[in-house]
Structure 1
Amino acid sequence: MYAGEIFVNFEMEQIDYKILNNLNNLPLQFENKLSAEKISLIVNAVLCSLNITNLILPFNLKTFELNFKSVDEKRIIIEKVKETFYKISCVVGFPKSINALEQLKVLIFDFESNIENVKIRNRTRVQQVQENITSSGLDLFKTVYGKNSTAVLKKLQASHVDLVETILYNYGLILSDMSMLSVIETEFVLIAALKVQGGMIEKQAFSHILGAVNVGASKVEVDSAVELIEKIKICLMPVIPSI
C-alpha cells in the first residue's frame, strides 16, 4: 500500500537508489524556476527517450511523496506523465513509449479519489477526419516554428513526398491535443526527448527550444529546462544504454 491511496501490484525491479535519489533531488535545484509538474514531466520524458524504464515507477512514487499530496494531484500527474509518453512517441518511437506506459499500468488508485477532478484526453479527436487533423497539425506547426515554418515544411517535403503529410498528421492527432498537457509542457517534453538522444537528433531539439518561446514559455523557464535535462543526463550516465 502506498500512503493509503495508491499501491503497486507487483514487486519492483532492483534499482540503483543512488541514481534515483539524485533524480528526486533535482527539483530542489529548480523549484524557483520550474513547477514541480514540469520537472516531473521532463524527467519522465528523458527516462522514456533513453528507455530506462525501471526507474519510471520508483521515480514517480517518490515524486508523489515529495510534491503531490492529495489523491487527485497524484492522479492528475500520472495522467500527464502518460500523455507525455504518448506525445513523445512522435520523436522516440512507439516501442519506447509502450515500454514506458507499461510501467504505469501497475499503479492502482483508491476508488475514493474524485475522478471528476481528473482531466482525461479528449478522445473525440481520434474520430475526426484526417483532413481536420492535418489542418490542426498545421496550425500547431506554424505556431511552434513561427516565421520559419514554411522553410521547414519545404525542406521536409524535399526529403520525402509524404513526410510533411505524416508529420502534420502526427502534430494534429497526437501533439495538438492540449486537454492534458499544455502547449508549453508539450514543447518541454519534446525538447527533453530529443536532446538526450544525442547526435543529429539532439540538434532537432533546438527548433523546439525556439518553439517553447514562441508558444509563451519564458526564457528563464526554457533555460532552466535545458539545464535540468543536462543534469538528468549526468545522473543517468551510469545506466544510459550503450548502442
Structure 2
Amino acid sequence: MLSCRRLVHTRGLLPKMPLDTPAAQDSAKAHIHALCVSERTAVLSLGCRYAVLCASLSSANIPTAFAPALDALAEIAVDEKERAVCLRKGREAVYKSYTVAGMPKTINGLSELRSGAIARWPSSAATFDEPLPEDQTGSTEQQRAERGQVLFNEVYGRTAQRLTDILGSLHPRLLSVIVTDAYGKILADTGVLGLEETELVMVGALKVQGGPVAKQVESHRRGAVRMGASQSHVEAAEYIADEVVRLKEMA
C-alpha cells in the first residue's frame, strides 16, 4: 500500500528537487561555464552576463543552481576584484527581478547566492555587507513617482500611455505600485546596475518563465534597445535565459 507521501509524488503534486546530486551539480557547472564563456555572450561584460544569469536562475525557480553558478564563477573570474563585481551585479539583478518574478523566488535566490559565496570565499562577506551606493531615485514618494514615470515612458515608448490606461483600469493601486515602487524605487536605481543592464536582466528574468509573459519579454527587448543596448546585447541575454531553461529541463 502506498504511503501518503508516495501517493502525492505519484500524482505529481510535489516537485522534484533539481540538481540534488554531485553529478547533477557538476553537469550544471559545466553548462553554466560554457554559456558564460560562449562567443554568443561575449558581447556582454562578465558582470552583465552574471547579472542576467543570476536573475534568470532565480526567476526560473531553481535556486539550487546558484551553487554550480558560483563554482563556474570561481573558474571564470580573473581575480577577486572581478569576482566581487559579478557578485554585486548578480545580487542586484536578483533583487530587481523581484518586480517580474515575485518575492519568494527573490528571497530564495538571494539566500543561495549569499550563503554559497561566503562558504566559498569568506572574504566575500564584505561585498555583501558593504553599503549600497547612494540611491539616485529620490527620497520621497513623489520623487520616486516622477522618476518612475520617466523610466516607464522611456522603456515603453509610444505604448506607454495605452499601457498606463490598461493598468489603471485593472486595480486602483496597481499603476502606482508599478510606476512608483517597481520603476521609481527599484528599476530606476542605477547604483549597481545601469538602465541598459537592468533591461537586459528583465529580458532574461521574463523569458525563462515562458507562457503568457512573452508579451512582456518583447516590451523589455525594445526597452533594452531604448536604454542603449544593441540587438547583439539583447540576443546574448536571451541566449543566457534559453540556456537556463535547458538547465532546468536537464535537472
Fold-level match, TM-score > 0.5? yes
In the aligned structure 1, how far is the partner of 2:160 from the partner of 2:31? 39
Task: Please name the residue that 2:114 is paired with.
Answer: 105
Query: What is the alpha-carbon root mean square deviation over aligned residues?
Result: 2.6
Report if the CA contact (8 A) 1:194-1:201 is conserved. Answer: yes
Task: Please name the residue that 2:201 is paired with.
Answer: 189
Change (3 A) 1:21 1:163: same
- Counting aligned pairs with the same residue, the percent is 28
Report if the CA contact (8 A) 1:195-1:203 is conserved. Answer: no
Q: Which of the residues 58, 76, 80 maps onto 1:71? A: 80
Determine whether 1:91 maps to 2:93.
no
Query: Shift of residue 190 of structure 1?
Result: 0.8
Q: Which of the residues 150, 159, 182 maps onto 1:148? A: 159
SS at match of 2:214: helix
Change (3 A) 1:72 1:197: same
In the aligned structure 2, how far is the partner of 1:237 from the partner of 1:111? 34
Greater CA radius of gyration, 1 or 2? Answer: 2
Change (3 A) 1:20 1:110: closer
Task: Please name the residue that 1:44 is paired with.
Answer: 54
Determine whether 1:233 maps to 2:242.
no
Number of matched pairs: 225
In the aligned structure 2, how far is the partner of 1:77 from the partner of 1:227? 18
Task: Please name the residue that 1:53 is paired with.
Answer: 63
Structure 2: gaps of 5 or more residues: 1-18
Change (3 A) 1:64 1:206: same
Q: Which amino acid aligns with 1:136?
A: R
Of Structure 1 and Structure 2, the greater helix share is in 2
In the aligned structure 2, how far is the partner of 1:160 from the partner of 1:171? 17
Report if the CA contact (8 A) 1:85-1:101 is conserved. Answer: yes
Report if the CA contact (8 A) 1:72-1:113 is conserved. Answer: no
Q: TM-score, normalised by structure 2?
A: 0.80
Report if the CA contact (8 A) 1:145-1:207 is conserved. Answer: yes
Query: Shift of residue 97 of structure 1?
Result: 0.5
Change (3 A) 1:177 1:88: same
Change (3 A) 1:95 1:126: farther
Task: Please name the residue that 1:158 is paired with.
Answer: 169
Query: Shift of residue 235 of structure 1?
Result: 2.9
Determine whether 1:218 maps to 2:230.
yes
Runs of 4+ in 1 over 4 A off after TM superposition: 109-115, 123-127
Deviations 1:186-233 (A, max 9, x none): 011111111111111232111000100111101121123223322331
